[in-house]
Structure 1
Amino acid sequence: MQIKESSEIFDVIIVGSGAGGGMATKQLADAGLNVAVVEAGPFFDPADPKTMTQLKQPYDSPRRGAGTTRAFGEWDMSWGDWEVDGEPYTHAEGTEFRWWRARMLGGRTNHWGRISLRFGPKDFKGKTRDGHGDDWPIGYEDVKPYYDKLDKLIGVFGTNEGRENDPDGFFLPPPKPRLHELFYINGAKKANIPVIPGRLSMLTKRINEDRGVCFYCGQCGRSCQIYADFSAGSCLIFPAQKSGGQVKLFVNSMVREVLTNEEGKATGVSYINKEDRKEYTLRGKVVVLAASACSSARILLNSKSKQHPNGLGNSSDLVGRYLHDSTGASAAGVIPGLMNRKTSYNEDGVGGMHVYSPWWGDNSKLDFPRGYHIEVWGGMSQPNYGFGWDPNAMNKYFGLKSGGYGESLRDDVKKYYGSVIGFGGRGEGLAVKDNYCEIDPTTVDEYGIPVLKFNYKWSQYEKNQAKHMHDTFEEIIHNMGGHYLGEKPGKEQDYGLHKPGEIIHEVGTTRMGDDPKTSVTNKFQQLHDADNVFIVDAGVFVSQADKNCTWTIMALSWRASDYIIEQLKAQNI
């Protein structure tokens, strides 16, 4: 096959345009470097009328908003899915790992929940804390300056609460709790569970002239047409281009491998152009992988050479290992106090939770380490096809038959809609060496690139944590005077624990550390085996936390970018 080589030599080639790649693009381009961004999906701008879906309603859709074309609903702004045509992945026996690929400029940041939580001091020192896993080679004090700058650059609402392991920041005013959230606050406090304002990267106040202010349409999962919420394209890559940064985008470009020379250093990347199906190479002084934890591991493992026979950066045989995702369990309850609600007020708010519960437990008294937070949903936002309630549950708990058609159905909708409150527990799964992804030697994707095979099992610790989640949900529902909907999952159902990968917080495949024998990168996310290759996605995480990982990905990417600039100036790489 003929390979077309670019004559231009970039200062930096960044693979991936999501949270980590977007941040690296902004910082490196602003420093005057010539940057190439390689993205496996197409170009996307939420303000483009051709792709814009914000403010469209379910009745604008031939499917009335039903989630039949996209996993998270008709209007969810992701062009990827659990399964991507022509791009399979495989499983070892007994593994049910699910891998999400967003496949668009900006990656998953176009459709994430925008929950923007800092890791706390304890989260970087897991082994010291309880003996499980390993400590990071850095601590909260190393990342705090970048969290601070990130808050100010991107914008996040919330309040300073003085909680030890839920660090405060620089917050915009949070939206007020909605009615269902007021019910939740009362129910949680009766159980001695803290509730504080949510911390989401949505602008409730103007921070610059490039971005608008949230007007509470509640449709943030669609990516914001006025750039009021955070997406990597609209908030990092586009500003880098606008400010004169030297940024060249290569979209619909699937990276096959990182190319290296006789010294084992990176010289660029090879990619397949999805439009003409030809292979091209880009040349660069530095390569930054930000393709997501699993995709970056796949690229490294496929980058074999005489100098790196086990894959680039894999002399430790740890690339792909210590893969772990957040734990998750979900439940809902029907609350009689929320029936027959008046609808003469606006409670739309942001497209996410206005309040949440950070971890409160004492793990020394529990049968699992680490913790989880509780996310809350409910209210009376615009319904899609398939919304509503379980008529059998209404009959079971209240002796009421509901449904039908015509006026009786309308009456039931008015009576019951908005009376259900849902809960999502999101917690820390342990980093285990034997949970990993590897190259499947028997399968390639439609571009001829070997695919990943997943090996993953939850431990009893994660299952015990899920049981605690459901016990907590049940207690809060009871405190609200409500009824737990459905059957509470038991041991046979692993207590309702979501499959690995389903929370889409996978981390840990290229972990950082001081010892090249037990880690893949150093504390600045630089490969031990090739000093001009950096990883700025969640692969470098030594452990997850009871927080979403995006804010930490971006803070660490900013920190690594500063180090790259410093090392280039010193001519060390």
Structure 2
Amino acid sequence: MQIKESPEVYDVIIVGSGAGGGMATKQLADAGLNVAVVEAGPFFDPADPKTMTQLKWAYESPRRFAGTDRAFGGDDMSYGDWEVEGEPYTHTKGTIFRWWRSRMLGGRTNHWGRISLRFGPKDFKGKTRDGYGDDWPIGYDDVKPYYDKVDKLIGVFGTNEGLEDDPDGFFLPPPKPRLHELFYIEGAKKSNVPVIPGRLSMLTKRINNERGICFYCGQCKRSCSAYADFSSGSCLIFPAQKSGGKVKIYVNSMVREVLTNEEGKATGVSYINKEDRKEYALKGKVVVLAASACSSARILLNSKSKQHPNGLGNSSNLVGKYLHDSTGSGAAGVIPGLMNRKVSYNEDGVGGMHVYSPWWGDNSKLDFPRGYHIEVWGGMSIPNYGFGWNQGDLNQYFGLKVGGYGDSLREEVKKYYGAVIGFGGRGEGIARKENYCEIDPTTVDEYGIPVLKFNYQWSDLERNQAKHMQDTFEEIIHNMGGHYLGEKPGKDKDYGLNAPGEIIHEVGTTRMGDDPKTSVTNKFNQLHDVDNVFIVDAGPFVSQADKNCTWTILALSWRASDYIIEQLKQQNI
């Protein structure tokens, strides 16, 4: 196909507009660089009345917010899914991996839980800690200054607890625990499970004039029209444009590859315009990939040339290797003490957890390394269809016959709704070379771009961790005087362990390191093989932690951006 080439040469081309791409856009544009942002999905602004769903009732939606067109339902502001029409991916035999693609400006930051946790000192030194995986080439002290900056720029609520591996930060006041969370605190205490205020990037206090304060509508997953929560577009990209930064956004643009010259250096990217289906090329002095760990790996592997026959940055043959996702397992219990509750109790709060449990265990006494944290849900927010239980559960435990319509249904909802508390364990899986994504040589997407094939298996270490989660959940439910809902998953069901990819925390495909033979990027997220290409999504992670990865993506992207600015000034790239 004939490629239409743009005449303009950008200082930096950034592929992807989520957490890493948004932060790079903000820092590089603020430094005076001319930046192009290439996004595979459409433009999105949560304050635009045409696209926002915040503060709308279910009956205002044609499908009552049913999930017929979105993975998490129509009230979730995500245009992405694990399955995207026209964009397949494949698996090796026996593999189950679910690959989430977010297709909109701001990416996954429009609908995530906004759980904003720093990695701790131990998280960067896994091999030293227990012999599994590898150590990062950097430590907590290298990233701490950038965590501090991210806290102050974006805003995160919480409290300083003095915990070694759940580091203190610069926190806004946290919201008070709601009734179901008070029950959880008491239940967890009986099992010696710690509970501290949640750490979420939602503004409980004004930090600037451009963003509002959370008014407790509880609908954060719809993205915030007041810009009170963190989304990349509203908090990073739009401010970069408004502050005079030179930012050009290319939406509905599917990047095929990074283009290179005879010397093997990057000269820009090529992309397919989804609207006219033609291929275009953008020219740039520096290319920053922030498309997500797997998408950036795919772009590199598809960027083959005479100078890079194995794919760009892949002389080590490690692009796509060491793919890993957070572990996850969940449970819920019905708590009789929360039945027949009066709605006069203040249920106001953010659209997420007000408290959570950081990892507390001693792994030397357990049959798995690393740990997990517990996320808590419940309360009286707008219900999903089904209200969190089914008739069989209520019949089994209480002999209740639930159903009907009209007044009887309304009375039953008032009696039982809010009586369910749920738990989500989110832990660290071990990075293994045997878990990877690669290019499928026989399959392309609707744009003619070769797709990824996944090979991934959990080990007994992750299964043992999931069993520990389930045993802990059951014990805490019992402590609250409740009943475990449904059947507790056993060994035959991997103890409820989510399939790889389902937690949407995939990392590690372009791992950083000091040795070009055993890593893809250096400690500044720069490709060993090509000095003017950087990766600022979760691909460079050497290991996941028992924390959500977004805050570390943001911090490392800011750190890499500072390095890019310095190297350009010195004319090193």
TM-score band, normalised by shorter chain: over 0.9
Query: Counterpart of 2:199?
Result: 199
Give the distance between the partners of 2:272 and 2:67, measured in 1 at CA. 31
Query: Counterpart of 2:247?
Result: 247
Give the distance between the partners of 2:498 and 2:118, measured in 1 at CA. 24
Amino acid at match of 2:86: G
> Shift in Å at residue 259 of structure 1?
0.5
Give the distance between the partners of 2:103 and 2:69, measured in 1 at CA. 15
Aligned residue for 1:82, secondary structure, equals coil
Amino acid at match of 1:503: I
Query: Counterpart of 2:448?
Result: 448
Say whether residues 1:285 and 2:285 are aligned partners. yes
> Shift in Å at residue 128 of structure 1?
0.2
> Quick check: 1:64–1:385 contact (8 Å CA) kept in 2?
no
Query: Counterpart of 2:45?
Result: 45
Query: Counterpart of 2:562?
Result: 562
> Quick check: 1:272–1:447 contact (8 Å CA) kept in 2?
yes
Aligned residue for 1:145, secondary structure, equals helix
> Quick check: 2:178–2:346 contact (8 Å CA) kept in 1?
no
Deviations 1:435-492 (A, max 9, x none): 0000000000010000000000001000000000000000000000000001011111
Amino acid at match of 1:57: W
Give the distance between the partners of 2:66 and 2:342, measured in 1 at CA. 26
> Quick check: 2:372–2:427 contact (8 Å CA) kept in 1?
yes
Aligned residue for 1:272, secondary structure, equals strand
Query: Counterpart of 1:544?
Result: 544
Give the distance between the partners of 1:42 and 1:461, measured in 2 at CA. 40
Deviations 1:346-392 (A, max 9, x none): 31310000000000000000000000000000001112333342211
Give the distance between the partners of 1:256 and 1:486, measured in 2 at CA. 46
Query: Counterpart of 1:184?
Result: 184
Amino acid at match of 1:226: A
Give the distance between the partners of 1:436 and 1:99, measured in 2 at CA. 12
Query: Counterpart of 1:235?
Result: 235
Deviations 1:500-538 (A, max 9, x none): 000000000000000000000000000000000000000
Give the distance between the partners of 1:325 and 1:206, measured in 2 at CA. 34
Query: Counterpart of 2:136?
Result: 136
Deviations 1:110-159 (A, max 9, x none): 00000000000000000000000000000000000000000000000000
Q: What does residue range 73-92 of structure 1 map to in structure 2 within 5 Å?
A: 73-92=73-92
Say whether residues 1:361 and 2:356 are aligned partners. no
Give the distance between the partners of 1:407 and 1:2, measured in 2 at CA. 66
Give the distance between the partners of 1:345 and 1:365, measured in 2 at CA. 42
Say whether residues 1:391 and 2:420 are aligned partners. no
Q: What does residue range 419-430 of structure 1 map to in structure 2 within 5 Å?
A: 419-430=419-430
Say whether residues 1:256 and 2:256 are aligned partners. yes
Give the distance between the partners of 1:235 and 1:160, measured in 2 at CA. 24
Deviations 1:309-330 (A, max 9, x none): 0000000000000000000001
Amino acid at match of 1:330: G
Say whether residues 1:103 and 2:103 are aligned partners. yes
Give the distance between the partners of 2:208 and 2:228, measured in 1 at CA. 11
Aligned residue for 1:475, secondary structure, equals helix
Amino acid at match of 1:110: N
> Quick check: 2:37–2:250 contact (8 Å CA) kept in 1?
yes
Query: Counterpart of 1:491?
Result: 491
Query: Counterpart of 1:122?
Result: 122
Query: Counterpart of 2:407?
Result: 407
Give the distance between the partners of 1:268 and 1:126, measured in 2 at CA. 36
Amino acid at match of 2:534: F
> Shift in Å at residue 400 of structure 1?
2.0
Gaps of 5+ in 2: none
Deviations 1:92-112 (A, max 9, x none): 101110000110000000000
Query: Counterpart of 1:318?
Result: 318
Amino acid at match of 1:96: I
Aligned residue for 1:247, secondary structure, equals strand
Aligned residue for 1:540, secondary structure, equals coil
Give the distance between the partners of 1:203 and 1:2, measured in 2 at CA. 48
> Shift in Å at residue 282 of structure 1?
0.5
Query: Counterpart of 2:172?
Result: 172
Give the distance between the partners of 2:224 and 2:528, measured in 1 at CA. 39
Query: Counterpart of 2:163?
Result: 163
Aligned residue for 1:539, secondary structure, equals coil
Say whether residues 1:437 and 2:404 are aligned partners. no
Deviations 1:216-272 (A, max 9, x none): 000000000010000000000000000000000011000000001111110000100
Give the distance between the partners of 1:499 and 1:85, measured in 2 at CA. 21
Give the distance between the partners of 1:119 and 1:453, measured in 2 at CA. 30
Give the distance between the partners of 1:537 and 1:62, measured in 2 at CA. 36
Query: Counterpart of 2:62?
Result: 62
Aligned residue for 1:465, secondary structure, equals helix
Query: Counterpart of 2:327?
Result: 327
Gaps of 5+ in 1: none
Deviations 1:259-296 (A, max 9, x none): 01111110000100001100000000000000000000
Amino acid at match of 1:337: G
> Quick check: 1:58–1:384 contact (8 Å CA) kept in 2?
no
Deviating more after overlay: 63-72 vs 7-16: 63-72
TM-score by length of 1: 0.99
Give the distance between the partners of 2:494 and 2:388, measured in 1 at CA. 27
> Shift in Å at residue 62 of structure 1?
2.7
Amino acid at match of 1:118: R
Say whether residues 1:152 and 2:149 are aligned partners. no
Query: Counterpart of 2:301?
Result: 301
Amino acid at match of 1:497: L
Give the distance between the partners of 2:554 and 2:486, measured in 1 at CA. 39
> Quick check: 1:66–1:386 contact (8 Å CA) kept in 2?
no
Aligned residue for 2:539, secondary structure, equals helix
> Shift in Å at residue 344 of structure 1?
1.6
Give the distance between the partners of 2:110 and 2:65, measured in 1 at CA. 19
Distance 1:21 1:203, change over 3 A: same
Query: Counterpart of 2:505?
Result: 505
> Shift in Å at residue 393 of structure 1?
1.3
Give the distance between the partners of 2:301 and 2:64, measured in 1 at CA. 43
Give the distance between the partners of 1:416 and 1:234, measured in 2 at CA. 38
Query: Counterpart of 2:36?
Result: 36
Query: Counterpart of 2:518?
Result: 518
> Quick check: 1:201–1:230 contact (8 Å CA) kept in 2?
yes
What is the aligned residue count? 573
Amino acid at match of 1:471: D
TM-score by length of 2: 0.99
Amino acid at match of 1:548: N
Give the distance between the partners of 2:150 and 2:109, measured in 1 at CA. 15
Give the distance between the partners of 1:67 and 1:276, measured in 2 at CA. 29
Give the distance between the partners of 2:520 and 2:349, measured in 1 at CA. 43
> Shift in Å at residue 66 of structure 1?
2.2
Give the distance between the partners of 1:388 and 1:514, measured in 2 at CA. 49
